[in-house]
Structure 1
Amino acid sequence: MHILMFSDQHADSLGGVQVSLRLQKRFLEQDGHTVTVCAPRMHRDHVGSPGYIDTPSVPITLDREYSMTLVGRRADRFLDAALATRPPVDIVHVQADYWGAMLGYRYAARHGIRAVHTFHNHMEFGLEQVVPVPAVAIRALLWWQHRVLKPARSVLAPSAWAYLNELALRADASTAPSGHFASLLERNGVAADVEVILTGADDSVVEQVLRDAVPHSGDRPLFVWMGRMSSEKRILEYLDAIRLSGVDAEFRLYGAGLLLKKAQSFVREHGLDGRVVFAGKVPYQEALTAIASADALVQTSIGFETQGMTVFEAAALGTPSIVSDPNIAGELPNGVYWQPADGSVPALAEAIRSVAADVASGSALVVEPQTSRAFRQSSQTARMIGVYERVLARR
């Protein structure tokens, strides 16, 4: 098969969805399929790949990490020309909500190709976090969506769920990367029978890291945090919890984002320099090695994540996690995580103190590496191929 994937952001940019896309592409190609990823052109140096189609774009963040493509006939013509020299597309896989989704469904409709949609984004929560007047924003998004995807099909009241429902109604199958997000989509009428397909950990990298990683052996506990440094990830709340905990430990933060400078200022202003280390963005294998070497991974966002990718990776690597989001905790097997009493900063600080004490006393959770195929990308890719084949068989 030739699978044409659509994303709102380039696969080489920072983010969990992008990690998922890169893994899916590689494992599908290892299985003999052709995968092309269509996304807006990046405006900073990046690796790139012949398997990418970079559509014309404009940057939308100050760090030029993220960009957008203006949806319209010009973009359609660009995409058609780029694909004219490639093998015929068998199936469109939309893993986007905005311009990527619009381009994808316009392409599928023009060429009569079936489509699969993977929902990654809890749009309602995200808009509430980053937009001053969410109700106005969703009205504007619905207006734009109805202009570029005609005709409108959803009968839901105007909302983020109606916006997502418009996308689901154009797909022949819908998937989500976690059980709790699939249930949320179904309860709000976005789609029925949303299949759960996790983002798995890279089989070969996990095996190599398990062979080579050196457990942390320092005098102080080592906590690792990974993600985009933005408000919905609660990075500043995490730093405040570190301050409040008073724990003498090393807290390594991997990633970057719009709140990086503010986070660095917070650390300096509160004298946390000796405990908090900003480790920057690192390649996937180095990230897994960092998780495997830590005493605990810390997950801090609440209500935003649609998958628990890093905590699943931690479980696969034998590292326990502090999990702030009860939905993500509910996806994990028992005995691999601690959970704060509630979503407050003091509760997170108390959890950090408790875990540090357990580590110091030698009574921390012992997690047996979860070698189940369910946590491996090879297993999840096989399940996604099954979705593609069912959709194509309906012709």
Structure 2
Amino acid sequence: MHVLIVTDQHPESLGGVQVAIRLQRRYLERLGHRVTIAAPALHRPGYAPTEEDREAYIDLPSWPITRDREYGITWPGARADRALAAALAALPPVDLVHVQGDFWGAMIGLRAARGLGAARGLGRAIPTVITMHNHVDEGTRAVTPLAPLAFQGLRAWRGLALGPCRGAVARRARGAWRYLAELAAEATAVTAPSQHFADELERHGVADEVLVTRGGVDDEAIAQVRALPRSPRSRPRLVWLGRMSHEKRVLEFIDAVAESRIDADVVLHGAGLLLTRVRERIVRYGLEDRVTVAGPVPYRDALAAMRDADALVQTSMGFETQGLTPFEAAALGTPTVFCDHEIADDVAASVEWRVADGSVGELARTLREAVEQLAAAARGADGGSADPESLRVPEEEGRRFLQSAQTAGMVEIYERALLG
């Protein structure tokens, strides 16, 4: 089959959703399917697609929306429709549209599904799967006190781009949930990347049934990185990866490291609006001997950092719809310190630490507990009684997070959608 994926951001930009989309494409192609990805053109300086990517990507007219030009926006309207239709005209017919965006990507994808159906004289859109990646309610409330107005704006924007809602919407869907429900009303199938977010979407009336399609981790990359030797160390090593923004609670993490007084090396990978404040806070607390900011790194380097670490620290709460890094860490054998219990339940690893609540004090206490146990395990490696492998996630357990397993489930959903 030929699957058209439409998303909010270019697949080569930074982000967990983009990683998941790139992997999905690769593993679908290995099964003999064709995948085309339409997204805003990437404005990052120096970016040049490979020949293989050039054939798979449709770059829509866009404008950069961040200072580093990493992210862009495409206005859902006639200009984007024409650009997408012209690119698709040179390709085999699209069998199914998979919307993997919650904002302009969703609107562009739904318009595309309608247009493809109209061009074939179907009188309806072609089969459409929507994956809800973004916790729009929680994420918006985390960054602005004007969230209710923002939700009204999103609904108005959707109305301008798509017209009256073409389906029933549950009465209990309110605010951001109603916006998502109006998008979902046009879908043949609705999915979410975790069970806890699927449950929340159903509870808030976004759709009667939300299937779970987790983002997987690259089988080959995991195998290659697992084969790397872990570096020697004199004390436990913790790693944090993500976008440095308020909802990720990176500043609270620095506060907790300072309060905990742990004897550990802590490395932060990523960048974002709070990067300068993170560096300032590290200096203010005098943590330069323990905390290092590695900045953004290529995906394989991020995996290698997780493999080399004794534990990953996951700090966001109630925001992530999957939280891919703990899954990647588990596949690499690395346990996680979880602040979000719902993500911990989805990962369900045999080795983990859970922070009791959202306070800095509890995070500090859990960090002390984890570091003490990891240090004891390391002493066991030097001839003590502790078993260092007892605090690693077993390899057989990590196999369930691989992309090959997740792609098989996605194909089943596609086939179900095509059957109507």
Residues 199-278 of structure 1 mapped to structure 2, 5 A cutoff: 199-211=215-227, 213-278=228-293
Q: 2:67 aligns with which of 51, 62, 69?
A: 62
- Percent of pairs with identical residues: 51
> Displacement, 1:47?
4.3
> Displacement, 1:102?
0.4
1:32 aligns with 2:37: no
Q: 1:196 aligns with which of 191, 207, 212?
A: 212
1:7-64 Cα shifts (integer Å, max 9, x gaps): 1111111111111111111111111111111111122133432111111111212222
1:365 aligns with 2:391: yes
Verify the 8 A CA contact 2:99 2:109 in the aligned structure 1. yes
1:116 aligns with 2:132: no
User: Residue type matched to 1:304 in 2?
Assistant: F
SS in 2 for 1:257: coil
Verify the 8 A CA contact 1:318 1:370 in the aligned structure 2. no
> Displacement, 1:283?
2.1
Verify the 8 A CA contact 2:96 2:128 in the aligned structure 1. yes
> Displacement, 1:365?
2.3
> Displacement, 1:216?
4.1
Verify the 8 A CA contact 1:317 1:370 in the aligned structure 2. no
Residues 89-168 of structure 1 mapped to structure 2, 5 A cutoff: 89-112=94-117, 113-152=126-165, 153=167, 154=169, 156=171, 158-168=174-184
SS in 1 for 2:356: coil
1:317 and 1:373 map into 2 onto residues whose CA distance is: 9
1:376 aligns with 2:402: yes
Residues 229-378 of structure 1 mapped to structure 2, 5 A cutoff: 229-362=244-377, 365-371=391-397, 373-378=399-404
Q: CA RMSD in A?
A: 1.5
Verify the 8 A CA contact 1:142 1:158 in the aligned structure 2. no
1:390 and 1:373 map into 2 onto residues whose CA distance is: 26
Verify the 8 A CA contact 1:216 1:295 in the aligned structure 2. no
1:75 and 1:354 map into 2 onto residues whose CA distance is: 53
SS in 2 for 1:121: coil
Greater CA drift, 145-154 or 289-298: 145-154
> Displacement, 1:372?
5.8
> Displacement, 1:334?
4.7
1:85 and 1:318 map into 2 onto residues whose CA distance is: 45
2:303 and 2:223 map into 1 onto residues whose CA distance is: 11
Q: Hey, what does 2:16 align to over in structure 1?
A: 16
> Displacement, 1:339?
0.6
2:44 and 2:349 map into 1 onto residues whose CA distance is: 42
1:203-237 Cα shifts (integer Å, max 9, x gaps): 111112222x2224211210011111111111111
1:238 and 1:196 map into 2 onto residues whose CA distance is: 30
2:57 and 2:88 map into 1 onto residues whose CA distance is: 11
1:300-328 Cα shifts (integer Å, max 9, x gaps): 00000111311111111111110100111
1:178 and 1:102 map into 2 onto residues whose CA distance is: 23
Q: Hey, what does 1:83 align to over in structure 2?
A: 88
* TM norm structure 1: 0.96
1:387 aligns with 2:413: yes
User: Residue type matched to 1:28 in 2?
Assistant: L
Q: Relative to structure 1, is the Cα distance of residues 316 and 172 closer, same or farther in structure 2, using a 3 angstrom cutoff?
A: same
Give the number of aligned pairs.
393
Verify the 8 A CA contact 1:292 1:318 in the aligned structure 2. yes
* TM norm structure 2: 0.90
SS in 2 for 1:63: coil
1:354 and 1:62 map into 2 onto residues whose CA distance is: 40
1:78 and 1:57 map into 2 onto residues whose CA distance is: 11
1:387 and 1:339 map into 2 onto residues whose CA distance is: 33
